Every structure is written in C-alpha cells, then in structure tokens.
C-alpha cells in the first residue's frame, strides 16, 4: 500500500510561492495607502485655497467706497456687512506674514483709530509669495492704491497672485465695481 501526500520539496515550493504573493500584496497595499495619504493632503490643500479665494472675493465684493491702503504686499479696506447679517461692517486687511501664511486682519469697526490693533487670523498656509495689483480707471495695473489724491477711493479691480510653497502659481482678478 502506497501513502499519498506531498513531499517536503512540494511543501517548501508552495510556501515560497505564498510568501512571494504575500510580500507583493503588502507592497501593493503600502502603495495604495501612500497614494490615499497623498490624495488627502492635496485635497486639503486645494480645499483651503478655494476657501481663501471665496473669503477674499466676498470681502472685496462688499468693499465700501472709502479710503483703501494698498501695496503689492497688503490690501486694507472697509467693507459692508453681508446681506445675511452674519458679520458686521468693519475694516479688513490681507497680508503675508513672515511664516508664509496669508493673514486676515479684522478691526472691530468700520472706521478705526490709527493706533487700533486688529485681530489676526491665518486664512491660508504654505504660501511662498503674495502679490496684489490694482486696476485704475485707465485700465492700467498698478502696485499701490491710491497713487494720488485724484484717484477714486476704490480701484476698478484687484489682481491677486499667490505662489504656494509647493510651487503652484494662482492668479485671480476680483472686480470692485
């Protein structure tokens, strides 16, 4: 009577094949998890960029025809309250700080004393560069507003250019009229 079964060589071969399949599966799973983390980080980055542009657009669209203090690195203006009543009229500013973050500065009221200090909130992180330009009545872009006492309180539009720390350059134009 002959016993039927597997030889030691056959069992070892099967174990080697299963081990190779397990290693390949582990590497594949690692790649999937790495890709998921990368997609999550990119999604969060672009979500925060979209939220920043949305906030900036809303503030600019509510701008009041009052004196604007603007340079290529900072925009300060007064804005009305939103129609929904979710905020109050106030003085606001956007500027890039030394940590590579765009800050929103909020003063407590519409007209503020020269020595009043704003509350500062980070609205976008990981920014390498911020540049603002202003469209005058003659359709020319300028780096500061107002250029003279003859300029109206508000420019026609604001062009916002940001370069993210990851290298992407984004340019948006916002109408103030």
Q: Please check whether residue 158 lies inside any domain of the structure.
A: no
Q: What's the CA dihedral at 153, 87, 83, 160 to 10 degrees?
A: 50
CA distance 75 to 114: 16
pTM of the model: 0.81
Domain count, the chain: 1
Q: Please check whether residue 15 lies inside any domain of the structure.
A: no
Q: Please check whether residue 1 lies inside any domain of the structure.
A: no
Is the pLDDT confidence value at 97 over 70? Answer: yes
Closest listed residue to residue 121, CA positions, set 107, 133, 132: 107
The Cβ of residue 63 has, within 10 Å, a number of other Cβ atoms equal to: 21
pLDDT of residue 1: 62
The overall average pLDDT reported for the chain is 89
Percent of the chain with pLDDT over 70: 98
Q: Please check whether residue 141 lies inside any domain of the structure.
A: no
CA distance 111 to 56: 20
Domain membership of residue 118 as a residue range:
44-126
Burial of 86 by CB count in 10 Å (0-12 exposed, 13-18 middle, 19+ buried)? exposed
Residues 149-163: pLDDT tens digits? Answer: 888 889 999 999 999
Q: Please check whether residue 10 lies inside any domain of the structure.
A: no
Residues 44-60: pLDDT tens digits? Answer: 999 999 999 999 999 99
Q: Please check whether residue 14 lies inside any domain of the structure.
A: no
Q: Please check whether residue 177 lies inside any domain of the structure.
A: no
Which is more confident, 92 or 29? 92
Q: Please check whether residue 119 lies inside any domain of the structure.
A: yes
Residues 115-145: pLDDT tens digits? Answer: 888 999 999 999 999 999 999 988 999 999 8
């Amino acid at each position: 009577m002959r016993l039927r079964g597997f030889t030691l060589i056959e069992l070892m071969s099967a174990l080697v094949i299963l081990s190779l399949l397990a290693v390949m599966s582990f590497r594949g799973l690692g790649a999937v998890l790495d890709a998921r983390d990368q997609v999550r980080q990119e999604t969060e980055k672009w979500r925060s960029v979209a939220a920043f542009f949305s906030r900036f657009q809303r503030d600019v669209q509510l701008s009041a025809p009052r004196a604007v203090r603007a340079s290529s690195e900072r925009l300060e203006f007064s804005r009305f309250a939103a129609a929904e009543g979710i905020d109050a009229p106030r003085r606001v500013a956007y500027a890039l700080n030394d940590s590579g973050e765009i800050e929103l500065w909020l003063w407590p009221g519409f007209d503020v004393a020269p020595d009043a200090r704003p509350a500062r909130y980070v609205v976008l992180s990981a920014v390498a560069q911020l540049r603002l330009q202003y469209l005058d009545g003659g359709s020319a872009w300028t780096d500061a507003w107002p250029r003279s006492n003859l300029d109206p309180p508000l420019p026609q539009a604001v062009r916002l250019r940001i370069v993210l720390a990851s290298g992407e350059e984004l340019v948006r134009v916002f109408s103030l009229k």
